[in-house]
Structure 1
Amino acid sequence: MTAPHSTGLTIMTRVERPPAHAGQGLLSSVGASWMRAPYPALVVDAHGGVVEVNARAAGLFPRAAAGVPLADVAPDWLVQAHGRASEGAGEPAAGPGGSARGRHAQWSLEAHPTRGVDGQIVWWLVDDTDRALAEAALKSEQERTAFLADASSRLLASLNSQRCMEVAVELAAEFLADAAVLVAPASGRRHPLATCVDGEVEHLLARIDPSAVPGLAEALQGFPPVPSRWIDPASLPDWAVPGGFGGPVGSVVVTPLPGHGVPAGALILLRRSDHAAFDTSEEVFARVFAARAGAALSAARLYMEQSGITATLMAELLPPMLQRVHGVEFAGAYRASQDSERVGGDFYDVHPGTGPGEKTLAVLGDVCGKGLEAAVLTGKIRSTLQALLPLAGDHLQLLRMLNGALLNSRHTRFATLVLASVLRREGTTRLSLTSAGHPLPLIVRHDGTVEEAATSGTLIGALPDVRATSAEVDLRPGESCLLFTDGVTEARGGPLGDVMFGDRRLRAALAECAGMPAEAVVERVHMLVAEWIGDNRHDDIAVMAITAPRTTHLTAVDGHTPGRYTT
């Protein structure tokens, strides 16, 4: 390649170095051929005076002539390189060493010395402008690549959309412009804004007119940006220039933030008038950054939307908080099969009667399977039972109606459950208990005796016909009924980690809970099962205790035997 000069000079860009000549009478040995060399060449004596220049050097340094000091015609870097090279002028002849590099006019030059014993040095100049430009472009691309990698990491570090907006404007204001304004899609009639200038981030919710900024309305719809030269910085509305920007705006870039399916917003970049305006390369790079920021923002918003939906659904799927109903205590505890899940196939509900003379319906069930799919069917069963509450007095009819609803659904899972209708009458709490393929309820008497309710029935959601028998149980003051899923008795653990908790351990634990409040009974059972399981895998676990209200006081006998009731 060649590089033009105003004097018509052409500098050759060959990269090989000129040959070295050494010895007494350097110029005489070279002869007149050096004058026709394709490189600009200057002969300079030990005192820094120009001895002779060839035609190409004369074109490069028009004032260079014999007897003129090198410092008057050449750039400082070449003068300093000659001074360093002259320090060894008395030494034996040497090849090209002490090369130097610098700029002169629009060129980037390399200077290579050839030194003789007479102290004169021939400086051969090679144009390496293209190489310098390539190195500068490579360095710039490396810096941009590193910036984009860092930006991607920081943008994706949070799935909070507001934090993601903050990081986007911080990065843009630090590396791309003097200030940045991120305009998010409208929320109602207002647009969320994030601005950053001098490291200060501010969030706003403002009613703006996007058409006031050329290209902004189009960018918010996902259309390509308009060139920055089309935007008059003086016409920007006040909201588009962050407070504390300082000085007039000199250059503006508006670029869209592409999202997943829909635009994630738009980015406005501002530079002060005393800084260089955005060039084409910078506008393209701003679009590359905006694409990454838009993807991160879109992912954050999608996550927050799904998180909100999940929270709403979770509130319906999670077991409710239980409390006293008409004086009767209800308490429950639930643990999903995996610590990473909050819902599963076990559930319980309490549907209070409308008055003191009305029965309260308590339900505890277990859907086949675990995880989210089981939780979906759990939600359907709970909502169906809510609709069937008018049939709560007839457990068999209620189970048949629920069984029909499950058989007609697309779900292929079945469920077991136990129903408990609770009615308090004149110091006695009567329970009507019906099991539908479920572990039988256990009754804890005030003396520590543990009894099994005599009820049975078929599971629901599997067979067209449901059969069940109910058991009537009276609870005296302070006595409890425990409803539980098979996740309790089938929980594997112990010293070897493979022994089931079993019915015997459960009964022994309940015997120690005689006279305890419902919440204490549930907490005791839940704690013992959790200790037994340890870190082992387990099924969903659900426990519910129903405790008759105390009309007498419990007095302690000693620390080992059950207490007694006294009036």
Structure 2
Amino acid sequence: MQRNDAARALLPRAHPGTCLADVVPSWLAVAHDALRLPGPRTEQESAVAPTGVIAARRFEAHPSLRDDGSVAWWLKDETDHQLAREALHTERERTAFLADASSRLLSSLNLGRCMDVTAQMAAEGLADAALAIAPARGHRLPVVTCLRGGTPTASLEAIDPDDVPGLGEALRGFPPVPSRWLDPSTAPQWMIPEGFGPVGAIVVTPLPGHGVPAGALILLRKACSAAFTDEEEVFARLFAARSGAAMSAARLYEEQRAITQVLMRELLPPTLREISGVDFAGSYRPSADHERIGGDFYDVHPAPVAGEPSLVAIGDVCGKGLEAAVLTGKIRNTLHALLHVADDHHRMLSLLNTALLTSHHSRFATLVLASAVRCGNDVQVRLTSAGHPAPLIVRTGGTVEAADTRGTLVGALPVVRARTATLTLAPGESCVLYTDGITEAKGGPLGSTRFGEERLARALAGCAGAPAAAIVEHLQMLASQWIGNGDHDDIAVVAISAPRKRT
């Protein structure tokens, strides 16, 4: 055996005359013996260089056949290249893990689902078990626990997070403490999943949200597993950042949804019924099928004292959608505050007009006020229009007539001018209030023809003697058939009827 100075330093036992198998690692000895075997070698076998470890470093061996039949082995140090390849592979795996986490976390705006995904992915890719913890609800912490290979389980823990080292700080958004500072033996029983065994290492890291902490992530490793490295803890924080953003977005969505539901309940038109002997019915259809509120509205305010008129209001705010709905809510609330002057329509409209002119809104609205009271078998109605289509009166013989009321719209001019009409509804007769969404609806065979006032009057003539609910339902059905799948404005209809005599 011969060697150069580099080989002497790497293989100190190698001396001239010694057997190669006695001084080199087994992987190199096997490669040497295979090279000396008789018979041809395939191209693939010749191209593959054996690799292995010598003195804690990785080498790649390249043989060279000499003229005397001996073999010279050249050893190339591949340690740094191997470490670079392993680091690149690890980085690719972690990048793929984070990309998958982002995709799964952002696929749902449900907070519970986000916590399940966080705990499950952390248990599979970062630890032997994981706990996703949300901010406290009252005196309990929402916790989702997951073992590697298991399914997430949710619970509410009545514990003080400050009793767990690092947890209270993480829930308040403070930076995490290194896992080497946390004593695994101090882990409380509620934190350790059933059947997990002794805890060997703990990581507690915050789940950062949008401006406020979204919760905390706890990673557990068994006593038989390796402790968390600094790199693993940094990677856990990268994962926690994505989980926290998703949980924060889900929580914000839930809060906005709850607020929206409350506002919807306040802004949606009421369900009408017979009040003090007067039959009321109403229906509303927003301009977009995915919306529930818009710029049209109606309300019925029952009289506080029996024998006095109930007030009906129907209106149309300029525009549609949420912005129009906000102004709709303002008008309805203002009208409700002005019920003490409901017997004076003109004063009520003037006060409403002043309120709109002094607000930050630049929109205007049309409006009809109707006061209805039962007098014997008849119903007395007073109608005042502020720039709104005149109500239609349906008589028992099928005659349809427009109420003699008109006026200027509210929210645009300093002074509101309006004329009030008074009429009587005999049993079976009705007064129909509507917004221009029905008369201006385009549809029909060509899809571009307006429904129009004449078609509306003919439809009402066929409703003579019908109850208020039947009239409203019939008009909305006709409008829906006329519009088809086309675009349309908000449509609101209210019917005031004098009930037929009961026999």
| C-alpha distance in structure 1 between counterparts of 2:436 and 2:45, whole Å | 93
Structure 2 residue aligned with 1:271: 221
5 Å-filtered alignment, 1:91-106, equals 97-106=47-56
Distance 1:422 1:107, change over 3 A: same
Structure 1 residue aligned with 2:180: 229
Q: Describe the SS at the equivalent of 1:200.
A: coil
Structure 1 residue aligned with 2:168: 217
Alpha-carbon distance, 1:231 to partner? 0.5
Structure 1 residue aligned with 2:470: 520
Alpha-carbon distance, 1:137 to partner? 0.6
Alpha-carbon distance, 1:550 to partner? 2.4
Picking from 134, 141, 150, the partner of 1:184 is 134
Structure 2 residue aligned with 1:248: 198
Runs of 4+ in 1 over 4 A off after TM superposition: 63-67, 72-76, 87-96, 116-120
Structure 1 residue aligned with 2:444: 494
| C-alpha distance in structure 1 between counterparts of 2:374 and 2:200, whole Å | 81
In the alignment, is the contact (CA less than 8 A) between 2:407 and 2:419 conserved in 1? Answer: yes
Deviation sequence 1:350-374 (CA, Å, 0-9, x none) = 1112354121111100111222222
Identity of aligned residues (%): 58
Structure 1 residue aligned with 2:31: 81
| C-alpha distance in structure 2 between counterparts of 1:226 and 1:410, whole Å | 51
Q: Which amino acid aligns with 1:222?
A: G
In the alignment, is the contact (CA less than 8 A) between 2:11 and 2:23 conserved in 1? Answer: no
Name stretches of at least 5 consecutive residues in structure 2 with no aligned partner: none
Alpha-carbon distance, 1:408 to partner? 2.3
Deviation sequence 1:19-49 (CA, Å, 0-9, x none) = xxxxxxxx9xxxxxx74375x4xxxxxxxxx
| C-alpha distance in structure 2 between counterparts of 1:474 and 1:105, whole Å | 109
Q: Describe the SS at the equivalent of 1:458.
A: coil
Deviation sequence 1:202-256 (CA, Å, 0-9, x none) = 22222222222222222222221111111100011222223x1421000011111
**Structure 2 length-normalised TM:** 0.92
Distance 1:265 1:245, change over 3 A: farther
Structure 1 residue aligned with 2:244: 294
Distance 1:328 1:91, change over 3 A: closer
Which region of structure 1 is more displaced relative to structure 2, 484-493 or 207-216?
207-216
5 Å-filtered alignment, 1:351-370, equals 351-370=301-320
Q: Which amino acid aligns with 1:272?
A: K
Q: Does 1:154 align with 2:104?
A: yes
Q: Describe the SS at the equivalent of 1:217.
A: helix
| C-alpha distance in structure 1 between counterparts of 2:41 and 2:324, whole Å | 92
| C-alpha distance in structure 2 between counterparts of 1:73 and 1:35, whole Å | 12
Picking from 426, 437, 448, the partner of 2:376 is 426
Alpha-carbon distance, 1:103 to partner? 3.2
Structure 2 residue aligned with 1:174: 124
Q: Describe the SS at the equivalent of 2:298.
A: strand
Structure 2 residue aligned with 1:402: 352
| C-alpha distance in structure 1 between counterparts of 2:263 and 2:75, whole Å | 77
**Structure 1 length-normalised TM:** 0.83
| C-alpha distance in structure 1 between counterparts of 2:288 and 2:416, whole Å | 32
Name stretches of at least 5 consecutive residues in structure 1 with no aligned partner: 1-26, 28-33, 41-54, 553-566
Alpha-carbon distance, 1:150 to partner? 0.7
In the alignment, is the contact (CA less than 8 A) between 1:97 and 1:114 conserved in 2? Answer: no
Deviation sequence 1:235-294 (CA, Å, 0-9, x none) = 11222223x142100001111111111111221111000111101110111111111111
Alpha-carbon distance, 1:87 to partner? 4.4
In the alignment, is the contact (CA less than 8 A) between 1:90 and 1:119 conserved in 2? Answer: no
Structure 1 residue aligned with 2:154: 203
Q: Which amino acid aligns with 1:203?
A: A
In the alignment, is the contact (CA less than 8 A) between 2:11 and 2:24 conserved in 1? Answer: no
Alpha-carbon distance, 1:384 to partner? 1.1
| C-alpha distance in structure 1 between counterparts of 2:466 and 2:51, whole Å | 91
Alpha-carbon distance, 1:193 to partner? 1.9
Structure 2 residue aligned with 1:343: 293
| C-alpha distance in structure 2 between counterparts of 1:413 and 1:339, whole Å | 23
| C-alpha distance in structure 1 between counterparts of 2:199 and 2:16, whole Å | 50
| C-alpha distance in structure 2 between counterparts of 1:98 and 1:171, whole Å | 39
Which region of structure 1 is more displaced relative to structure 2, 456-465 or 277-286?
456-465
In the alignment, is the contact (CA less than 8 A) between 2:389 and 2:434 conserved in 1? Answer: yes
Q: Describe the SS at the equivalent of 1:457.
A: coil
| C-alpha distance in structure 2 between counterparts of 1:264 and 1:102, whole Å | 48
In the alignment, is the contact (CA less than 8 A) between 1:96 and 1:115 conserved in 2? Answer: no
Q: Which amino acid aligns with 1:389?
A: L
Structure 1 residue aligned with 2:4: 36
Q: Describe the SS at the equivalent of 1:454.
A: coil
Q: Supply the RMSD in Å over aligned alpha carbons.
A: 2.6
Deviation sequence 1:104-145 (CA, Å, 0-9, x none) = 452222122224687643332222011111100100000000
| C-alpha distance in structure 2 between counterparts of 1:93 and 1:398, whole Å | 99
Q: Which amino acid aligns with 1:460?
A: V
Alpha-carbon distance, 1:424 to partner? 1.4
In the alignment, is the contact (CA less than 8 A) between 1:251 and 1:273 conserved in 2? Answer: yes
Structure 2 residue aligned with 1:239: 190
Q: How many residues align?
A: 502
Deviation sequence 1:486-522 (CA, Å, 0-9, x none) = 1111112223332211111111222222233322221
| C-alpha distance in structure 1 between counterparts of 2:204 and 2:93, whole Å | 23
| C-alpha distance in structure 1 between counterparts of 2:69 and 2:39, whole Å | 5
Structure 2 residue aligned with 1:435: 385
| C-alpha distance in structure 1 between counterparts of 2:36 and 2:455, whole Å | 99
Alpha-carbon distance, 1:376 to partner? 1.5
Alpha-carbon distance, 1:197 to partner? 1.8
Structure 2 residue aligned with 1:381: 331
| C-alpha distance in structure 2 between counterparts of 1:152 and 1:111, whole Å | 43
Distance 1:312 1:350, change over 3 A: same
Deviation sequence 1:381-429 (CA, Å, 0-9, x none) = 1111111112222212221222222222222221111111111122112
In the alignment, is the contact (CA less than 8 A) between 1:151 and 1:171 conserved in 2? Answer: yes
| C-alpha distance in structure 2 between counterparts of 1:36 and 1:96, whole Å | 25
Alpha-carbon distance, 1:449 to partner? 2.1
Q: Describe the SS at the equivalent of 2:11.
A: helix
Picking from 11, 25, 33, the partner of 1:58 is 11
- Report which of the two structures shows the higher radius of gyration computed on alpha carbons: 1
| C-alpha distance in structure 1 between counterparts of 2:237 and 2:95, whole Å | 14
Q: Which amino acid aligns with 1:58?
A: L
Structure 2 residue aligned with 1:545: 495
Picking from 312, 315, 322, the partner of 2:272 is 322
| C-alpha distance in structure 2 between counterparts of 1:441 and 1:87, whole Å | 108
Distance 1:319 1:120, change over 3 A: same
